[in-house]
Each structure stands twice: as structure tokens, then as C-alpha cells.
Amino acid sequence: MSACWALQGMSGPQKSVLISLADNANDEGFCWPSVAKISKRTCLSERAVQNSIKWLCTAGILSLQERMGRSTVYTITPASYAPPQEMHPAGDAPQPPHVVHPTPAPRAPRTVIEPSLEPIKSPSASETSADDETIPHEKIRELYNQVLGGKLARCLGLTEKHRRKIRACHNLKLEGKFVVREGGLSFWEGLFNDVLDCPFLLGTNNRAWAADFEFLTTAANIQKFMEGKYDAR
């Protein structure tokens, strides 16, 4: 009955009576000491012992069986211990807090937005930004080498910088059109062939300078070339 020692939620006299009974109980929790014996062991009055026994029965940890002419048999069940809740007189019960409900503010007028009757236009492919998956970077490089490889420095491989420049070209918009994107590879082939007719870009200039793949795939330079700004040089 060592499990009784850890139980809480009872008064000192109640715990003393419980421990005294547990000390007398066998392994099954049965014992039958007299009230006088319990009183002597706990130094409590017999009335205090009886009140404690009554409370322990109410808490479920103790049950008793009275026998005529013999001492009462007590059964201790620590696993059934459930201390009763203390009852307070109605006058001592705490009053619920007084809740003051604020006066609700007047509702703001609702604004009703009428749905537009105009159909929603989805952006076309030419109106959206080009991405790397739709741009034939490698084919553009091959076209450059095929058309201009004998006149200008060849491009042996694409760098991330090259890809960014080509992507910017595909997003170049002139007179309301994405001329590079809409022209596709035909635009690039035409551009590179037109460069063959531009001596300035091929190196015939007083600076001994010639265009290269990076120069011809720069959006600003393509715009200048299409505007004829390299023709008279």
C-alpha cells in the first residue's frame, strides 16, 4: 500500500488515517483495525478518525463493510482515488464579472463595384516577356558563325551574359512590335546578312574596330542598326 504515500489533495488528519489503514492492510488492501486503534496510532480523536474515514470513502479510495459484533473491514483502492470538489455556499460564490458591451459604431456605407461588361483580354504570346525556354540561343550563335564567321570574330560558346543580351533583344519593342521575337530565326539571319553590307561594322573605320557577336546581340545596337545609324559611317 505504498501508493498511498504519494496521494495529495487531503487534509493532515485524513492522510494520517489513510496511512494507518494502509500500514495494517494486506497485499489486497484489506484491513480491519478498530476506530480506537486508529485513534491511538494517529493521535486523533475517535470523532476525527470517523470523519476522516467518511471523507476517504467519499473520495473513492476507501470502502468499508460493517460486521455485527466485530470490527469493520476496510478496503483500500488507491487507483480509485478522486477527491471530491469543495462546495461553497451560494452566498460565497464569486459573482460573474460585469461585462460592458460597447455601443457598436455605425456601419460605413457599402461601396458596390459593378462588374465590367468588357471581356478580359488575355495577353498574347507577343505581349509577354520572353524566357529562355522559347529563345533559340544556340541556333542564333550558329547563324552568326555561319554568316559572319569569315568576316568577324567567331563565337565559340554562349555565356550567361550572352543569354541575357539575347533575351533583352527578344523583349525589344519598336513601333509597337516585338520585332526580334516575332521574326524568329529569320530576323537574325536577315540581320547578320545585312551586316555584310555595312563596312563600318566589318572593321572599315578609322578606329580599326569591328563588331562581334556580343555587339550584334545587344538590343540598343540592333535598334541603331535598324534606324540606319551605321550606314553612313
Q: Please identify every stretch of the chain with a pLDDT value under 70, giving residue numbers as ranges.
A: 1, 69, 85-106, 108-132, 232-233
Query: How many Cβ atoms from other residues are within 10 Å of residue 20's Cβ?
Result: 21
Q: What is the pLDDT of residue 65?
A: 84
Q: What is the pLDDT of residue 88?
A: 44
Q: How far apart are CA 109 and CA 126, in angstroms?
A: 43
Helix or strand holding residue 2 (H, E): none
Q: What is the pLDDT of residue 209?
A: 92
Say which DSSP state 231 is in: T
Q: Which residue is listed with cell 476496510?
A: 74
Sign (positive/negative) of CA torsion 5, 10, 11, 15? negative
Q: How far apart are CA 33 and CA 37, in angstroms?
A: 6
Radius of gyration of the chain measured on its C-alpha atoms: 50
pLDDT tens digit string along 202-232?
A: 989 888 899 999 999 999 999 998 888 887 6
| Domains of the chain: residue spans and CATH | 2-80 (1.10.10.10), 128-226 (no CATH)
Q: How far apart are CA 74 and CA 21, in angstroms?
A: 8
Query: How many Cβ atoms from other residues are within 10 Å of residue 4's Cβ?
Result: 18
Among the listed residues 184, 169, 188, 176, the one whose alpha carbon sits nearest the alpha carbon of residue 127: 176
Q: What is the pLDDT of residue 162?
A: 95
